[in-house]
Amino acid sequence: MSETLVGLTIIAIGTSLPELITSVTAAIKKESEIALGNIVGSNIFNIFFVLGAASVISPLAVDSKIFVDVFVMLILTIVLLVFSRTNFKIGKVEGSILAAFYILYMIYIIIRN
């Protein structure tokens, strides 16, 4: 199993569990702004600060395969934007679609590696 595969699957899921718990708890309490803010804020922090700090300590080599992952992330971000424009709600149907996209993405990552 490649390091990229481990990072994109096992480590990603493990480090996202706190956000999952926080967002699910916020959703149960009908605090949708906290749920969405937690997810978006955490990802922005990880992409900019954590990646930046790690790169300052030691330059990171970028595998060319990651560009496909970035493209997928951009497309799914656009899908999220479309969902947010539909009455500003991400309901059960939209949530199921997003979860299905993630499962398909994981299958793609496993097959690719």
Q: What is the dihedral of CA 55, 74, 106, 17, to 10 degrees?
A: 60
Over residues 44-89, the pLDDT tens digits come to 899 899 999 999 999 988 878 778 888 888 887 887 777 777 666 7
pTM, two decimals, is: 0.70
Closest CA to 101 of 76, 80, 82: 76
| Whole-number average pLDDT of the chain | 85
- Specify the pLDDT at position 22: 94
CB 26 within 8 A of CB 38: yes
